[in-house]
Chains A and B, each alone.
Chain A
């Protein structure tokens, strides 16, 4: 079977490479299934403490492969909700729930679901030549893969509306200026910079990082009161972790901490 997803684990980092370069790494069903298998491994394996997602070739991901869809103008209307429900929604939910950092290294064009997938990762590093295209509106569709939730929260409502309604290309630098991504680096530095960040995160207190991630994501929908309760609960749990103990001991002994992720 074709390996549309390449993955390997090294030094606590699982690197996932979307691998259909001739189709700009656009998704088809098999690719979704292979990605789901990798995520299952990332969820179960405690030695994986950070996830790094990137694309093979010149693109990051061009979203859904339209060749796979029923686009016969005379045929019956396709049920696009089906693939959203079966593939994209579970993918977004699993990445959000994963209690470890997820980094997107956006190496080239990220369009449609590819753009919303990338922007939805916990930290996004983009190559200077990369760009994001909310292509949905130009086909008469709606941003999916979390797009309509994500855009107003990262770009603000006015910019989100402009991006989604026009569907124009947005440069990596524009995305950074608007605060939608973490960092832009020269193309040649992308692989090194993103891997260094991922390896650093993989040595950090993963359990605590997972709680931080859950709390920040929850804050998008919760009230201050709910959030304060959540902080109390999460702090209670974090305070019992091995890594908190190690962090305090290392601080007192003035030595670098050795975090286990638990």
Chain B
């Protein structure tokens, strides 16, 4: 059985992490597979959104410690891992994490990298790196503080203690909480709702949301307006507005 199960649900790509014996630990091979699948999906005009899921007990419980332990300083300096993460981060379509059970360390960093997070009522999130004498190395300190603010982010990074799904939702880390048995189903439903919209509009909106993390408000507003203007040249925009005015379902073509 493959360690990454790839499935299609209409215009939604579903990636299921499948290393149950290692609690879905994200080793380089698995990150590489995720990156490759997302790169394929980025080029595939039949795909509009992607959901990443683990299993009912683990989303992913961290990095592969054996792999990491073998790396000394020079090896860590030249580690391929940051490039794998960058490839995943470069995915240009909506990316949804569907989390049941534990999302810890690298598993949680993968969740933080996703655009939105749907979680089961048994989900727990944490960055326990500090307890191993290391620290988050794939965005944990950066993405967390940008979504929850200094106090909670520092608490999580410095204590290594996990938070439950309700804290995570309160803090804005999770958009929806469902009974664990329905998490994946609802995540796919959400992804399908997203995937009904114009592919180009989704990409532009995602880009604008991403850029808000990079630049000041003034520059962000300018970029937003440029992307908005770009969409005005698409056929899908015409179709979207026409369908609304004619009270029918739009048929988007991705151009």
Q: Which residues of A contact B (CB under 8 A)?
A: 230, 233-234, 236-237
Contact = CB atoms under 8 A, between A and B. Distances in A.
Contacts of B179: 230, 233-234, 237
Interface residues of B, number: 4
In the A-B complex, list the 5 residue pairs whose CB atoms are closest, starting with the nearest. A237-B181, A233-B179, A233-B182, A233-B178, A237-B179
Contacts of A234: 179
Interface in B12-47: none
Nearest to B182: A233
A234 B182 CA distance: 9
A175 to B, nearest CB: 32
A103 to B, nearest CB: 25
A103 B113 CA distance: 46
A223 to B, nearest CB: 15
A230 B177 CA distance: 11
B190 to A, nearest CB: 15
A234 B179 CA distance: 8
A240 to B, nearest CB: 8
Contacts of B182: 233, 236-237
Nearest to A240: B181
Which secondary structure characterizes the binding site on chain A? helix
A237 B181 CA distance: 7
Contacts of B181: 237
9 contacts: A230-B179, A233-B178, A233-B179, A233-B182, A234-B179, A236-B182, A237-B179, A237-B181, A237-B182
A237 B178 CA distance: 12
B26 to A, nearest CB: 28
Interface string B155-190: 000000000000000000000001101100000000
Contacts of B178: 233
Nearest to A229: B178
Interface in B182-224: 182
Nearest to B185: A236
Given A233-B179, A237-B179, A237-B182, 5 more contacts: A230-B179, A233-B182, A234-B179, A236-B182, A237-B181
Interface string B219-235: 00000000000000000
Contacts of A236: 182
A236 B189 CA distance: 15
A208 to B, nearest CB: 13
A230 B178 CA distance: 9
A144 B117 CA distance: 36
Contacts of A237: 179, 181-182
A237 B182 CA distance: 8
Nearest to A230: B179
A101 to B, nearest CB: 19
A236 B182 CA distance: 9
A230 to B, nearest CB: 8
A143 to B, nearest CB: 25
A204 B178 CA distance: 26
B131 to A, nearest CB: 21
Nearest to A233: B179
Nearest to A218: B121
Contacts of A233: 178-179, 182
Interface string B134-171: 00000000000000000000000000000000000000
B222 to A, nearest CB: 40
Nearest to B178: A233
Nearest to A237: B181
A10 B243 CA distance: 65
A233 B183 CA distance: 10
A237 to B, nearest CB: 5
A236 B185 CA distance: 11
A224 B230 CA distance: 44
B217 to A, nearest CB: 35
A21 B178 CA distance: 44
A217 to B, nearest CB: 13
